[in-house]
Structure formats: C-alpha cells, structure tokens
Structure 1
Amino acid sequence: MQGNLNEIDIRSILQLIELGQRTGQLFVETHSDYKCSGLCVDETDRHNDCSDRHCWFIFFLNGQIIYAANGDNSLSRLSDYLRHYQIQVQLDEREVEHLKTLNALEYAYLWMLLEQNILNPIQARSIIHSLVYETLFDLLNLQQGNFIFEVSSALAPQLTTLEIAPALTEMIKQVQSWKLLYPHIQTPDQIPVIADIVNLRNSLPAVTINKLQHWADGKTSLRQLARYLNRDLVTLAKAIHPYIQQGWVQLLTNKSKKTLDLEENRKRCILCIDDAITICTVVKSILSNLDYEVITQSNPLEALSLIFKLKPDLILCDITMPDLNGYEICAMLRHSQAFRQVPIIMLTAKEGFFDRVKAKMVGATDYLTKPFGNNELVILVEKYLSPFCIKSNKRDTPLVDSVKDRVKILSQN
C-alpha cells in the first residue's frame, strides 16, 4: 500500500492497518517543503537520505503500534526523554553503528538500557508511548507528503503495544487544541525566551519566574521542553500561551535564534543625553570599560534625531536641560512604536518624590540621582540590558556574579 497524502489522510491509513491487523512498517515523508521530494523505497536509502527531509516510521504488530521513529536515525530525541530520568546517552561511533545493524537505533538503545538495568520496563514503556504520540502528532498535522506501508516481520523484541483507535482519538484532540493556539504558537520547534521580566515579576510568583528563567533559555524548543519535563506538548504550550499573548515571553524560530545570537555578539549601544559634559564623560568612561558602545550628546534637540538613527539599546537622559527637557524626550519616544520597550533611565540632581512620579508618568523605566557612584550606574544598566555572561568550561556565570565582577574591574581601574 502506497500513495499520496492528498488522496488519503494519515488517519484513514492507520485505520486500514488496524482493520487489516497488519504487521509491518509505515514510512511517511513530506515533500515540496523540503529539499528532497522523492519517495524512498529502498530501506537503506531511506535511512541514508532522511537527514535532509522530514520522514517518520511507525512499526506495527497485528494492527497495533509497537514503536515509532523520526527519520534522522539518531539518539537526540531519545536523549531528551532520558534526561527526565537523569540518564545520559553515552555511546561511541562503533557502538552506534552496531546498534544500527540490529534494528531501529532508538529502540535498540532502549533495550540495551533495560538489559543493563539502567532503565526499568515502566520507564521504557512510558518513553515508547511518548515517542509514538509525538510521531502521531506530527503526522496528523501533515497536509501533504508520500507514504508506503510494507508488510514485514515485526520489530523484535516487543516491549509494549498501543491500540490505534484510542491513540488516534487522543492525538486528534491534541491537534485540534494545538491549532487554537495559532498564531501565537505555530510549531513545536519554536524556542521560548523571556522578553519582559519586569511584568512577569509583577504578575507571577517567584517560583514560577525561576522556572521560566531556567527553561526559557533561548536554546530549548517547546518540544524539547515537553520531553525534559515528561509533559505532553499541548499542555505545556497552553501553560505558556498567556505569557506569549502578553508579549512577556517570545518564541524564536531557528532562523530568528541565529539572528538573535548575532545580535548578542554585538556591543550594546547606550546613548547618554546630558547638557553637563562632565556627566557624559564619566558615563562613557565607566560603561566603555565594560564593552558597551557609549554615545554621548549634550544637545537634547540633536539627541532626539540621533536616537532614531542609532536605535540605542538603552538611554540615559538628564531631566533638566534647555530647549527640551528629559520628560519631553521620554514622552516623545514612548509615542513611537520603535521605542516603547527601550529602557529609559532618567538622570537628575533632585531627589524628590514628585520627580520620580512624573518620570514614571511619561514612561521612564527607572531613575538615577546625581551624583552617582560607578557601582550604582553599572548595576542599573545591567538590570535592563541582557545579562553579561562570563563563559567558563562549567557554566555561564549568572547576572549577579557578572555585576560583581564588573564592579570589581571598575574598582581596579
């Protein structure tokens, strides 16, 4: 049995296999959206060629599912599930090649873990069920592609079987729920990152914030996160959906993540607007030593046009200036869509409640009283710009440590 998904859908194919109590394997691949659109028929070619396409395998015994795999024929997917049980995949190339000759690589590795008593049967069954449901979720979302079902001997040995009808019913509900999250959430491969930590802290318990900061690291996709936590993808997506709607959490694609990585590698630009040349000089001296690009401007009118040209990552703005004061500059910028989220820190020689309230009313992010110390300036700037991480072989130093190190650097200068 083979054909095109434009002619028959995945649901009907699986129902036919169940009705006929077939034993064998179903191979499905997408076409047109991927580099290679031809249907692989030869088993060796399938495993060799699926790296540049999207393809899946489902293995059956008497009309029931015993296992499902994606086409990359690696242990990366299984490694994510094993992480939940604090088990790491450790194989050299020779062991991987040997397991490939036995049967599906993931399946063979699972059995090896069982035989070595590293994984127990309940854990292994749970992982297989998750792999099957994940595969069904992907296939039920497909709009086009090719398939072929081959009658063959069953994958052995068997650890578990799943009836097709109840599995289909459950996954169809999952797919329907998933579609309701569109357009905020579109694919399982999107990567959550925190976009507005201030609003999150004001609205959520500290425990929830800590979890979000741990997992929304800009590296882990929604699908990986569901695997790590041993939760189904849709439940996880529903939990994070409200924060995405608010704009407090954003989702990156792999392409946008690469752009973000390039963005993070560039120097952060800070514009300091103050009619006092001395303040501009001090700010530039302090922050330039910490690898920021610092631009200063003593003329507030010229500064306004400079802002739209530079698009700085953070603005330090004096309140009391001739021609145009800091309140007016801040209010103007907040009316522009491009600068609504840019941190604006007001600088003033006054320490008064009224000035702070007025600064907040025009949209200022924070407030710094002159004269200020080096430490005060550094900590406030670091609070609103992306954390500076000191790379080591073991970990990335968190923000609190990086600020201490920066202050220490300043004290040595």
Structure 2
Amino acid sequence: MQGKLSEIDIRSILQLIELGQRTGELFVEAYPAQLPVGVGVPLFQDTRPSQSVPERSWFVFFLNGRIVYASDNNTSLARLSDYLRRYRVDVPLSQLTISSIASVNAPEYGYLWALLENHTLTPIQGRSIIQSMVHETLFDLLSLHQGSFIFELSPALSPQLTTLEIAPLLAKIMKQIQEWKQFYPQIQTPDQCLVIADAERLQASLSKNTFHSFSRYADGKTSIRQIARYLNRDILTVARAIYSYVQKGVIQLIDCPYPELEGAGGARAVRSKDFGRWHETRTPRIVCIDDGVTLRQTVEQILNQNGYEATAIANPLDALSQVFQLKPDLILCDIAMPELDGYELCGMLRKSTAFRQIPIVMLTGKDGFIDRVKARMVGATDYLTKPFGESELLMLVEKYVGVGGSESRQSGEALTHSAKDGLEENDRTDATSSSSPSFS
C-alpha cells in the first residue's frame, strides 16, 4: 500500500492497517516545502544560506494491526535521553551493548531494550516511554496533510514490550489536535522554545519555587515538547500553562536553535548528530563505492582536497572486505551496481556490529519516493540524488562527519571547474543508463 496524503489521510491509513490486522512498517515522508506552519508539525526555519531545509519522515511499526513503536527520522537518541530524565536515569547510551534491532530504523528502540535488560529501567517505565513516544509521533503524523507514504509487510519489530490499540489512540489524539488549534497563532508548534520576556511580571504571578523551576526551562533552547517529556505531561497541559503568559507578552516563543554538530572550541572531534557517535581527532575517513570511474575519481579528489581521507572502490564485493580494514566514518554507496546492488550491500553492512552506527548515504540517479524508502528500510542514513555538485557533496559530508582540515579545505576551494563538470556529466550519464531496482 502506497500513495500520497492528498489522496488518503493518515487516520484512514492507520484504520486500514488495524482492520486488516497487518504486521509491518509504515513510512511517511513530508514534503519539505509544504510542512504546515503550526498544528503539531515542527517548523524548520533555517536562514543560513549554506543549509537546506531538513526532511521530515516517520516510521510506525505494527504487529497484527496494533502499534509496537513509532519514531521520526531523527536517530540521535536525544528523545530517549529526554524520557530517561523523567526517571532520573543518567546512563551514557553510547556505552550500552545493543542488539541487531537497533541497526536499521529503530536505534532508539534497541537502546531502550538494553536499558530494560540491564535493569536500569523497569518494564512499567519502559512501557510508559514507548506509549509517550508513539503518542507524540502520531500527533505529528495526524497533523500532516501533504506527503507520501508506503506500508510494507515485514516481520514484526521484536521483542515487543507492549502493543497499542489504534482506535482509542486516534480518538484521543484527534481531539488533542483540535484543542491545540485554540493556541494558534500565539503557540504554533510543540517544538518552539520558551524565553522569559518580562521576568518581573512573571515572578510576581508565580511562587518563588515555581518561578525558579520555570526559569530552568525558559532558556531559549528547551522546547514545549521537551518540557512535556521531562515532566511526564502531554504537550496540551504545558501549552495551557504558558498560554496566558504568552498572550500577555510575559513569555515569548522562538524557533529552537537548529541542531549543530557538536565540538569543543572548533576542535576536530565532532559528533554525528544522527548517531551520537564521537569521531576521534584523526581526519574523517570516507569510502565511496561506485562503479562509475569518473564519479569515483572526482568524489575522491573533491574530498581529499577538502581535508578528508577518501577512498574510492569500484567493486561492491571488494568493498565488503575493504571497509572492515579502512574503518570509515562515512560510506557513500551507489545503488545500481553489478553483482551486488547498493541495497544489498547496505543491508549486509548493517548486520555487522562494526557498521550498525556508521552513516551510510546512498548515491542514486533516481529521485523517486520508493527508492528513498527502500534505502531507509535497509538501514541507509540518507541519500544524495545524482547529478550533484561539489557544494552538495561537501554539505552532506559535513553534516555527518564535520568539516575537513583548514589547509586542505582552502586548497579544495581551488578545485577546477572541469573536475566538477566531469562529476555532474558522469552522473547524468549514470542516471539515464542505470536501471531502477524493482520494489517488492
């Protein structure tokens, strides 16, 4: 089952899955240019010229027509950390040993199970966290009116801690969405952050302890959604509590800061925001797997001249053995290749513990929704559509492993136009000559 949300809404899709008692995954992708301004879907307003609007997508996992787990495409584990704060759990998630269920589309779920297995969380706490995660994901999905979706039958996400009946969830969340509209336009989205505009007036209307507690959250960095997670409340309760103060101008709401790659004073240690993986101070190592000679050579040249350590590999079978020796920080992988296509290669790498958290970006000459979904379902982190230019390539690489060395970066800016033209021309040829993999 697949289609566009202009033809069938999320509520109807969920009802069909429940009625048919289906087991599988629902993938929904919003159209970036048409994200609603308010009513549950976060704003992505980034005015920096070098950055593009982030894509928003969601996964919902089902077992016999009931929901097992749901999440968006942000796999940074920040949401799980927020919920753990509710139970005063302070555990470095990166140090946990996780099972293979965390390797593809549900890393958060895998880490949650690791916390249950080592008795850091109780089953009751785990069920409460999953229910909250599903609830907030459905709130965003049911507020969405433009986008595409695919539901694919597949083995159930396992093990299951709980399963949730769809009909009661739909009734509750649809009511909340309607109530949320009363806060608009003063409060547009749960992902807006709070700032105190008039501390004296606010302090005069609150007790000393309440004002002190509230001040911790009104820092311009903590969203309404995060406050709800910390306090174990729904977003409507938080919105009601601040609404009158927003109306009076005592509290202002702003767009939360765009998540940056973290580093210490511009040092070369940066954190991949998708996987929470710290890269050491060595030069970021990137592997490009593509059977196109010109593309391989040009990508390798661009990255090496911009401060990265790039290695290009033509044969996907050879790549399987070489990546274990190279231990890259990022893998760029073509989809249409002989002997072993990119989907198969990505799926094989994700089965290895060493590559469960390494960003894998698919290079494809196809801009179709199905190709992107297939990439997601085999565990790809992102995709880059050919033909692409130097700036697009560098922007994507910086997103996952940070910027290259400064001296090499300066020399990279002097890359000849002929090399860039060769990259784009070669990709146009690949895009027209490569056959599209079938989707089943």
Structure number with greater CO (CA < 8 Å, separation at least 6) is 2
Residues 177 and 33 of structure 1, relative CA distance in 2, 3 Å threshold: same
Is 1:170 the counterpart of 2:162? The answer is no
Question: What is the CA–CA distance in structure 2 between the aligned matches of 1:243 and 1:62, rounded to whole Å?
Answer: 45
Residues 211 and 66 of structure 1, relative CA distance in 2, 3 Å threshold: same
Cα shift at 1:201 = 2.2
Cα shift at 1:96 = 7.0
Residues 204 and 257 of structure 1, relative CA distance in 2, 3 Å threshold: farther
Question: What is the CA–CA distance in structure 1 between the aligned matches of 2:235 and 2:215, rounded to whole Å?
Answer: 19
Cross-structure match for 1:25: 25
Cα shift at 1:73 = 2.2
Does the 8 Å contact 1:23/1:63 carry over to 2?
A: yes
Cross-structure match for 1:129: 131
- Specify the code of the residue in structure 1 equivalent to 2:70: A
1:206-247 alpha-carbon deviations (Å, 9 max, x no partner): 232122212212211111111111111111111111110110
Residues 9 and 152 of structure 1, relative CA distance in 2, 3 Å threshold: same
Question: What is the CA–CA distance in structure 1 between the aligned matches of 2:121 and 2:232, rounded to whole Å?
Answer: 15
Question: What is the CA–CA distance in structure 2 between the aligned matches of 1:74 and 1:34, rounded to whole Å?
Answer: 24
- Specify the code of the residue in structure 2 equivalent to 1:202: A
- Specify the code of the residue in structure 2 equivalent to 1:67: Y
Question: What is the CA–CA distance in structure 2 between the aligned matches of 1:257 and 1:94, rounded to whole Å?
Answer: 24
Is 1:55 the counterpart of 2:57? The answer is yes
Cα shift at 1:204 = 2.4
Cα shift at 1:29 = 0.7
Does the 8 Å contact 2:221/2:257 carry over to 1?
A: no
Question: What is the CA–CA distance in structure 2 between the aligned matches of 1:16 and 1:257, rounded to whole Å?
Answer: 36
Alignment match of 1:227 (pick from 222, 229, 233):
229
Alignment match of 1:196 (pick from 195, 198, 202):
198
5 Å-filtered alignment, 1:276-295, equals: none
Cross-structure match for 1:120: 122
5 Å-filtered alignment, 1:145-156, equals: 145-156=147-158
Aligned length, in residue pairs: 243
Question: What is the CA–CA distance in structure 1 between the aligned matches of 2:141 and 2:122, rounded to whole Å?
Answer: 29
Does the 8 Å contact 1:34/1:53 carry over to 2?
A: no
Question: What is the CA–CA distance in structure 1 between the aligned matches of 2:194 and 2:105, rounded to whole Å?
Answer: 35
1:98-133 alpha-carbon deviations (Å, 9 max, x no partner): 663376111111111111010000000000000000
Question: What is the CA–CA distance in structure 1 between the aligned matches of 2:154 and 2:166, rounded to whole Å?
Answer: 18
SS of equivalent residue, structure 1 residue 162: coil
Cross-structure match for 2:92: 90
Question: What is the CA–CA distance in structure 1 between the aligned matches of 2:229 and 2:6, rounded to whole Å?
Answer: 31
Question: What is the CA–CA distance in structure 1 between the aligned matches of 2:209 and 2:31, rounded to whole Å?
Answer: 44
Compute the TM-score of the two structures, normalised by the length of structure 1.
0.56
Cross-structure match for 2:335: none
Cα shift at 1:205 = 2.2
Residues 159 and 257 of structure 1, relative CA distance in 2, 3 Å threshold: closer
Cross-structure match for 2:5: 5
Cross-structure match for 2:247: 245
Cα shift at 1:188 = 1.2
Residues 14 and 98 of structure 1, relative CA distance in 2, 3 Å threshold: closer
Alignment match of 2:106 (pick from 101, 104, 107):
104
Bigger radius of gyration: 1
- Specify the code of the residue in structure 2 equivalent to 1:129: Q
- Specify the code of the residue in structure 1 equivalent to 2:246: I
What stretches of structure 1 of length at least 5 have no aligned partner? 36-50, 259-413
Cross-structure match for 1:183: 185
Compute the TM-score of the two structures, normalised by the length of structure 2.
0.52
1:162-219 alpha-carbon deviations (Å, 9 max, x no partner): 1100000000011111111000000111110111111112222223212221221221
Does the 8 Å contact 2:86/2:232 carry over to 1?
A: yes
- Specify the code of the residue in structure 1 equivalent to 2:107: L
- Specify the code of the residue in structure 2 equivalent to 1:232: D
Residues 93 and 202 of structure 1, relative CA distance in 2, 3 Å threshold: closer
Identical positions, percent = 58
5 Å-filtered alignment, 1:269-308, equals: none
What stretches of structure 2 of length at least 5 have no aligned partner? 36-52, 261-440
- Specify the code of the residue in structure 1 equivalent to 2:120: I
SS of equivalent residue, structure 1 residue 191: strand
1:45-96 alpha-carbon deviations (Å, 9 max, x no partner): xxxxxx9410111111111101101112231111111111111341448957
Cross-structure match for 1:73: 75
Does the 8 Å contact 1:218/1:257 carry over to 2?
A: no
Cα shift at 1:31 = 1.0
Is 1:254 the counterpart of 2:256? The answer is yes
Alignment match of 2:162 (pick from 147, 160, 163):
160
Question: What is the CA–CA distance in structure 2 between the aligned matches of 1:103 and 1:145, rounded to whole Å?
Answer: 19
Cross-structure match for 1:15: 15
Question: What is the CA–CA distance in structure 2 between the aligned matches of 1:214 and 1:256, rounded to whole Å?
Answer: 20
Question: What is the CA–CA distance in structure 2 between the aligned matches of 1:157 and 1:6, rounded to whole Å?
Answer: 34
Residues 178 and 213 of structure 1, relative CA distance in 2, 3 Å threshold: same
Question: What is the CA–CA distance in structure 2 between the aligned matches of 1:69 and 1:17, rounded to whole Å?
Answer: 17
Is 1:213 the counterpart of 2:220? The answer is no
